[in-house]
Amino acid sequence: MPDQIADAAGDDPVAASYRQLADVYHDLLSRDGVEELLERLVKTVRGLIPVTSILVAETRIEERVLVPLVAEGDWPEDFLSTTLPFGDGLIGMAAERGRPILCNAAHLDPRAGHVAGTPDGEPEAIVSLPLVSGGVVIGAMSLYREGEGATFTPFEFELAKRFADAATLALQNARTRAELRERGRRDELTGLLNRRGFNELLASTLARAREDEVAVALLLIDIDDFKRVNDSHGHTCGDALLQHVSRLLDEATRHRDCVCRIGGDEFGVVLLRADTEQGRAVARRIEESVEAHPMLHGDEPVAVTVSTGAASTRETPPHAESLLREADRAMYRQKRERKPAVALRLVSEQ
């Protein structure tokens, strides 16, 4: 690697390496999604420092563990589903101390530990690097070079530390972008996906359903006579009712991210691998749950009902507009049929 760098910059490998790092910063920061960033990160570090294996993990600060994000090389099949305690192994020590570690004889160093399912006792050199942002360790990475005589030079160690700085900045930037995008998809009042999130969810679910050749059901849910609650009890109570109903929907569907608040007092539920009848079964469960669980406003119960409509790609063209139109028609058909009963209940409450 130093010879390659020297070729790129005459006889000054340090200057060439820092020009490469500048390109790395620009390249990594241009990556938008976390998965894309991690893929590029692995490819880039291999170009800078030849290694046999790479591990990148993020931290769960409260639990003091590292969660592997990407592991390239000879790792056990289920390794990405494990966690690594702070202080455990060289990468855990780097995360715990917030300082990089170079170990050119890791196979002889008891601090290195051993991951079950990987070769044990073979010559190995390891560089472990904390990813530190604003004084907080947000992750860690380890570079591995295996084989007889495997070592990392001081130059490569320094280069790896500078690369870790670039990786930290890029990962934090990608995470921030992802959080901002997610906030833009969430309803502030209920925490459910909002209209934008609903549109994205429905589109992605339909695309997946086409690929897997399965059905998608769409439910629309509307709170009956919601205006009465706002008029009688105030908008604070109305907001509390929306939160209350959203929790009931969450419990009834058992999958929060398929439930959306698409506007006002209207909700949507997107169900993969469900036909209209299965959608109606979920709708009935929702109706029964809302009716059986009135919200307490102070000491006063606020009872409401909901109208629901279901549509599925089994009977409706597999397009968002068609499903929305058919579910909306079904919902308002039910609302019209139930309106006399709802009106009678309201009169009896007065």
Give ∠ CA 271-329-293 in degrees, rounded to 5: 60
What pLDDT is attached to residue 26? Answer: 59
Residue 265 falls in the annotated catalytic set: yes
How many whole angstroms separate alpha carbon 100 and alpha carbon 305? 60
Name 58's Cβ contacts closer than 8 Å, sequence gap at least 6: 66, 67, 69, 138, 139, 171
Distances (CA, A) of 344 to 293, 312, 332, 341, 349: 20, 32, 18, 5, 9
Stretches where the chain sits below pLDDT 50 are 1-11, 342-344, 346-350
CB-CB contact of 26 with 9 (8 Å): no
How many whole angstroms separate alpha carbon 224 and alpha carbon 331? 11
| CATH topology assigned to domain 2-184 | Beta-Lactamase (3.30.450)
Upper half-sphere CA count for residue 122 (Cβ side, 13 Å) = 12
Distances (CA, A) of 102 to 109, 110, 125: 11, 14, 8
Q: What is the pLDDT of residues 241-263, one digit of tens each?
A: 999 999 999 888 867 569 999 99
Name 143's Cβ contacts closer than 8 Å, sequence gap at least 6: 45, 49, 51, 53, 54, 126, 127, 128, 129, 152, 160
What pLDDT is attached to residue 5? Answer: 40
How many whole angstroms separate alpha carbon 101 and alpha carbon 157? 9
Q: Three-state SS for 146? A: strand
Helix ranges (DSSP H) in 213-234:
226-233
Annotated domain spans of the chain: 2-184, 195-349
Q: Which one is catalytic: 23, 222, 265, 299?
A: 265
Q: What is the pLDDT of residues 7-46, one digit of tens each?
A: 444 445 555 555 665 566 556 666 566 677 778 778 878 8
Q: What is the pLDDT of residues 114-123, one digit of tens each?
A: 777 666 778 9
What pLDDT is attached to residue 39? Answer: 80
What pLDDT is attached to residue 324? Answer: 95
Which residue from 97, 156, 108 is spatially nearest to 132, judged by alpha carbons?
97
Amino acid at 301: P
| CATH topology assigned to domain 195-349 | Alpha-Beta Plaits (3.30.70)
What pLDDT is attached to residue 54? Answer: 92
CB-CB contact of 273 with 215 (8 Å): yes
